[in-house]
Amino acid sequence: MRINLISLFPGMFRCVFEESIIHRASCKGIIEIRLIDLREFGLGTHRVVDDAPYGGGGGMILRPEPIARALESLPERGHTILTTPRGGLFQQEDALRLSLETDLTIICGHYEGIDERVNALFVDEELSIGDYVLTGGEIPAMVIVDAVVRLIPSVLGKDTTATGDSHYAGLLEHPHYTRPRSFRGLAVPEVLLSGNHQRIRQWRDAQSLEKTRQMRPELLERSLPETRPHDPGKKKP
C-alpha cells in the first residue's frame, strides 16, 4: 500500500512512523509512506497557503490551489481522505475497508478548515477520530494510518493476530493474563491453565461479551459491516 500524507507539518509524522510496527512494515516494503509538505506548493515567493474567509469570521482558510497542486503531483492518489472534525467518526470497519486500498491519500486539515471546493473536486471521504477539535489533522491522520496498516496481511506477522482485537468483530476484547500466576493476591483464571482449548475459547468468548455489556453496551446493538457504502455521485477528476 502507498500512503500519501499532505500536511503543513510533515515532520510531526517522522517520530511516529519511524518506530514500531509501521516502521517495520515500511522496511519490509509492505507499505510506502510519502510525506508531502503543503508549503512547497504555496503561492508566490512566500509560499502562501491560506487566506481570510469570504463572508468574514475569525481564523484562516487553506486555499484550494496549493492542495490541488500537491494532489496533482502524486503519481497515484487513490482513495482521498480529509481529516476534519465534521467528518464521519472513524471506526474499525473503516480501518478494515481502507486496508484493502492500494493507494491512500490523507489531507490534513488545519486552521479553520479548507476551501470547500477541494472537497467537491478531490475528496472521497471526510473522517474524524472523535467529537472534539484538535489543532490540526496530523494526529487523526496518524491514528488512521496506524489502524489501517496493522490490518494489512503480514504486517503483524500472523494474519489472525488482529482478528481478536477489540471492535474487530463488534465486541471488546477478552482479558489477558501472563506470568506470574499470582500477583498481589490475584490469580490467573484456572481455565487458562487447563490446556483445554475449547474451554479457553468459550471462556474468552463469554468474557468478551461480558466486557462489552459492562463497558460499551451500545456495541451489542449494532453489527460490524464489512464496508461503508461510498457516495456513488461523488467522483474525482
Q: Is 124 in the active site?
A: no
The C-alpha atoms of residue 95 and residue 115 are separated, in whole angstroms, by 26
Among 63, 77, 97, 150, which one carries the catalytic annotation?
150
- Which is catalytic among the residues 53, 64, 85, 175? 85
- CB atoms closer than 10 angstroms to residue 9: 16
Annotated catalytic residue: which of 103, 126, 165, 210? 165
Asked if 150 is an active-site residue, the reply is: yes
Let me know: does 200 contact 194? Beta carbons within 8 Å: yes
Active site residue 229: no
DSSP state of 77: -
The Cα 24–Cα 85 span in angstroms is 30
All three cell numbers of 44 = 508566490
- Is 237 considered catalytic here? no
Among residues 112, 124, 126, 173, which one is catalytic?
112
Residues 67 and 6 sit within 8 Å (Cβ to Cβ): yes
- Indicate which residues carry an active-site annotation: 85, 112, 150, 165
